[in-house]
Amino acid sequence: MIPIDLDIDMLRCFSEVAKTGSFTKAGKAVGLTQSGVSVKIRRLEERLDTQIFNRTSKSLSLTLEGEILLDYAGRILSVHNEAVSRLTKPKASGTLRIGLIDYFLPELLPKLLSRFRKQYPNIHLEVWTDVGINLIPLFEKGELDLVVTGKDAFQGNCRVLIQEPLVWAIGQDTEISRHDVLHLVLLPPPCVFRMMATEGLEKANRKWEVRYTGSSIANIQAAVQAGMGLSILPAGALTEGLRKAPSYLELPELPMYSIVFIKDEGKSNDARDVFVSYLEAELNSLN
């Protein structure tokens, strides 16, 4: 049997079409026309001898085979990008001091940092994790080169890294009645999530009380997992043992939350710029 090769460009087009639901939008992302993307997808289907999209005049969706391929495509593209990055990376070096909010992808982030260290052994990372209100003063004093934090923590110029929904989080085995006094697990003031929780529940005329005030997101996650009460977290911080609160509780709706880069654009820093590009590429491969 002749081996079937999956072309990287085809997989990249396929991944973008699946992500955007549009041949036109995918074309803009990969630098092709809509017809060019269509040709790539058709050739990919011919090579695999299977249909990967259900197409109608009004909608586009993945087939079962397309869903399977999307999982593999994400992994193939990630390894491909890592190999290209490692072999063609700029010769950046030096110490890079990074401040990260501790609810930013808590399960994935250590792996991303570890991979970065392997790809860029000449860049020495020094990483602080904390809440945004503690990281910003360090950045302003010049003690950090880069901060990744919530948009609410900084009013100056910054660039959005990702947006994710906020959720009401409870423990996996926690049961709460619609009529119970809501026990809250929160960070201390002036945490924006604390303000959202208390003000939102007040406006909804719900009874609540703060039962646990933690010093870090790890404290909050552990307390919620143990059944101490409810909290507000970014969806990406719903680690094992946590779940989204059920809809029957009729809790106030929560907004999308922007996580941003903060850096001094007036200062040249190759190591910082390499890290920013790396992190953006890794997060894009997850979408």
In tens, the pLDDT along 10-52 reads 999 999 999 888 898 888 888 889 999 999 999 999 999 999 9
> Do you find a cis peptide bond into 121, omega within 30 degrees of 0?
no
Q: Mean per-residue pLDDT for 215-225?
A: 90
CATH dotted code for 94-287: 3.40.190.290
Q: Mean per-residue pLDDT for 226-235?
A: 93
The residue ranges of every structural domain in the chain are: 8-88, 94-287
pLDDT value at 153 more than 70:
no
pLDDT value at 166 more than 90:
yes
In tens, the pLDDT along 67-84 reads 999 999 999 998 888 787
Helix (H, G, I), strand (E, B) or coil at 45: helix
Reported residue count of the chain is 287
State if pTM tops 0.75. no
Q: Mean per-residue pLDDT for 179-186?
A: 92
Quote the pLDDT of residue 62. 93
**For domain 8-88, is the CATH number 3.20.20.70?**
no
Choice among 77-81, 131-135, 264-268 with the minimum mean pLDDT: 264-268
Instruction: Round the average pLDDT of the chain to a whole number and report it.
Output: 88
Q: Is the dihedral of CA 120, 124, 129, 134 positive or negative?
A: negative
Q: Where are the beta strands (DSSP E) in the chain?
A: 53-55, 60-62, 94-101, 123-130, 146-150, 159-171, 182-186, 208-213, 231-234, 242-244, 256-263
Q: Mean per-residue pLDDT for 241-265?
A: 90
